[in-house]
Amino acid sequence: MNHQTRRAFTLILLLVPVLLVAGILMTLLAVRTIAFEVRAVRGDGVMGTFTAQELGVCGPRTSCSWSGSYVSADRREDYISIRGFNRYELASGDRVSAIDVGGPAAVYRPGRFDVVGSVVLTLGSLALLISPVYVVRRARQRRSARDSSNVKTNA
């Protein structure tokens, strides 16, 4: 095995497990996020009121994250973020209905499902899970091409 082949083999040996672990973690995140979104659409959770205070992260086609205070129907108060509103639907100080579906540090807009965010997360996790197959196939193709060219030059 020459130096270049050994280096490529080492790179593949390191890259494939990293891609698989990243893909598995991203898939778990996607499943968990979609589960919370579905619970919010179905109304499975504790209703309350969210008061917007500060606009957080906004994607170009996804909903934004607003920080603020949430008071549940049982009068439990929390400083938390809400998902499901875009930058123009809320302003600082606005009060809206929200549902706590058990997610960490976030409440959701009742009846709203972030399709774009869920699709992007799912496609990204699938790409990470499929990429090791591509890397291994590509390495095998290069190896077989190199082996066939070595056979022709030796003949």
> Residue 3: exposed, middle, or buried by beta-carbon count in 10 A (0-12, 13-18, 19+)?
exposed
Q: Which of 55-59, 124-128, 144-148 has the highest mean pLDDT?
A: 124-128
Nearest partner of 101 among 89, 85, 88, 112, judged by Cα: 112
What is the predicted pLDDT for the residue at 7?
75
Report the 10 Å Cβ neighbour count for 1: 8
Cα–Cα dist 86/13, whole Å: 43
Q: Judge whether 154 lies within some domain.
A: no
Q: Judge whether 69 lies within some domain.
A: yes
| Domain of residue 121, residue span | 19-137
Helix (H) and strand (E) counts in the chain: 2, 5
Q: Judge whether 65 lies within some domain.
A: yes
Q: Judge whether 10 lies within some domain.
A: no
What is the predicted pLDDT for the residue at 30?
86
Taking the chain, what is the end-to-end CA distance rounded to the nearest angstrom?
A: 20
Report the 10 Å Cβ neighbour count for 42: 13
Q: Judge whether 14 lies within some domain.
A: no
Residues 98 and 108: beta-carbon distance below 8 Å: yes
Percent of the chain's residues with pLDDT above 90:
12
Q: Judge whether 59 lies within some domain.
A: yes
What is the predicted pLDDT for the residue at 50?
93
If one counts the domains in the chain, the total is 1
Any idea how long the chain is? 155
Q: Judge whether 6 lies within some domain.
A: no
Q: Could you tell me which residues come within 8 angstroms of residue 20 by beta carbon, excluding any fewer than 6 positions away?
A: 128, 129, 132
Lowest mean pLDDT segment, chosen from 8-17, 20-29, 118-127: 8-17
Residue 155 pLDDT > 70: no
Lowest mean pLDDT segment, chosen from 19-28, 45-54, 99-108: 99-108
Residue 16 pLDDT > 60: yes
Q: Judge whether 142 lies within some domain.
A: no
Higher local confidence (pLDDT), 150 or 138: 138
Section 27-43 average pLDDT: 86
